[in-house]
Structure 1
Amino acid sequence: MNERDLQAVAWDVDGTLIDSEPLHHEALIAISARYGVDLTNEPEERFRGVHMSDVWRALSEEYPQDLTLEAWNDQITDYYVQKADDLRPIPGAVETVRRLADMGVPQVCVSNSSRRIIDSNIRSLGIQNCLAGSVSLSDVTRGKPNPEPYVRGVGLLGLPANSVLAIEDSATGALSARRARLAVGFYNPRPGSIRAFDYVDYEIIDLSAIPDMPFFAERSRAR
């Protein structure tokens, strides 16, 4: 991948821009407990980046038969949104998004979460004015790892897919971006703790380094 070809950034949100995975896990545990299902010993990583319908399929047999996917998901979303204002950004995330915006680099958010959740996250981060738009699970028929979310994100930017750098923190999201033909940056602040995947172009330890990638740096100097 030639960094000179990169013109824009497509951000995953959960775990990449905002430290939301613990709250997602907490919401799942809390709502499951309402129906007598104890998930307290489930590792948080089990459902990291996973489409909620896939989480439902994995757990639905443990819930009462009259509980629907829609009711279950609505309750999880309600729980999450009520606490979203307490979330913290990933170190360097907000500053990086704003710096890229100041440099004239177009940006979108592409999430596997519902519209209400992604809107809550973006509002909590305060980056609305830096984005060309966002894609949520509510906007697509198939979530990550299907390429559809990133295809829609690229459409919002109006750029060729291979000119967009996706920043992801999960295998599910990275595969979605690769299938959509984006360049893939894997955010891994603890090198060696998670194996970088074959379909990753860049391993990113610090988000604040992204604006200093050669193309983006040249763009800034040209302004």
Structure 2
Amino acid sequence: MKGLLAVAWDIDGTLIDSEPLHHRALLAASTAHGVDLSGDPKDRFVGVHMNDVWTALQPLYPPSLSRERWQTAINRFYCEAASSLEPMPNARRVIETLSGLGVPQICVSNSGRAVVDANIARLGIAPFLAGAISLDDLTNGKPAPEGYLLAAQRLGVPAQAVLAVEDSGTGLAAARAAGLSTAGFVPDGGALPGADRQIRRLDELLDWFA
């Protein structure tokens, strides 16, 4: 891929194996408010905007539970266990290497600020980033393009020269709508339709910036 000048990273499932903890945090917060979701498929809400998760589950919760209290409870459970998270293979090395090459990088996430900060701290990548955009910074999260448009603006790079690295169709749709180049991260060897390129390992993209 030619003409690339910067990278915009998704976090959950791309840089860090966080989906199991997201699931446990949702279960714990729900149990604390009298709702047992243990029988639900673990992937029921993978890649789903938290506003949509709330809409789906709100009828099950006590009427007194607000959206804000619910999200705060989830974030608390998640952040308390963030030290147990496993980075994806080569994630930190790739980001550090790109930084050494002078490639500006930013993270774009559908998670709230507390979770984004916990993930970045666990990865140890803050010194190599130009910043991180969370759902709290946006009016509309992925699949809307707002986050990636803001990322290109903050990087000071034309959108088409920014490589978005995503592991979900939702994130890929957001990046494409914003006009970014895209790499679909499919470590299991599957496919992410619509991505400009598919990668199984994060270090594959280093060749595009060498």
Note whether the superposition's TM-score is higher than 0.5: yes
1:205 to 187, 200, 208: 200
Relative to the length of structure 2, the TM-score reads 0.97
CA distance in 1, matches of 2:140, 2:131: 19
Q: For each residue in 1:1-49, what CA deviation from the matched residue of structure 2 results, as whole angstroms up to 9, or x when unmatched?
A: xx22111110000111011111100000111112222211222322122
CA distance in 2, matches of 1:133, 1:42: 35
Q: Secondary structure at the match of 2:165?
A: strand
Answer yes or no: is 1:196 the counterpart of 2:177.
no
Counterpart in the other structure of 2:8: 10
Counterpart in the other structure of 2:20: 22
Counterpart in the other structure of 2:32: 34
Answer yes or no: is 1:107 the counterpart of 2:102.
no
Kindly indicate whether the alpha-carbon contact (under 8 Å) linking 2:109 and 2:134 is maintained by their aligned counterparts in 1: yes
CA distance in 2, matches of 1:154, 1:54: 26
Give the gaps of 5 or more residues in structure 1: 218-223
2:175 to 168, 174, 177: 177
Counterpart in the other structure of 1:80: 78
User: Structure 2 matches for 1:51-62, cutoff 5 A?
Assistant: 51-62=49-60
Answer yes or no: is 1:139 the counterpart of 2:137.
yes
CA distance in 2, matches of 1:41, 1:208: 37
CA distance in 2, matches of 1:115, 1:181: 25
Counterpart in the other structure of 2:164: 166
Relative to the length of structure 1, the TM-score reads 0.91
CA distance in 2, matches of 1:203, 1:44: 25
Shift of 1:58: 1.1
Give the gaps of 5 or more residues in structure 2: none
Counterpart in the other structure of 1:221: none
Q: For each residue in 1:114-147, what CA deviation from the matched residue of structure 2 results, as whole angstroms up to 9, or x when unmatched?
A: 1111011111111111001110001001111110
Q: Secondary structure at the match of 1:46?
A: coil
Structure whose residues are more often helix by fraction: 1
CA distance in 2, matches of 1:105, 1:43: 39
Q: Residue type of the partner of 2:65?
A: L
Counterpart in the other structure of 1:120: 118
Q: Secondary structure at the match of 2:13?
A: coil
CA distance in 2, matches of 1:37, 1:128: 36
Shift of 1:171: 0.9
Q: Secondary structure at the match of 2:38?
A: coil
Q: Residue type of the partner of 2:29?
A: I
Q: Residue type of the partner of 2:40?
A: E
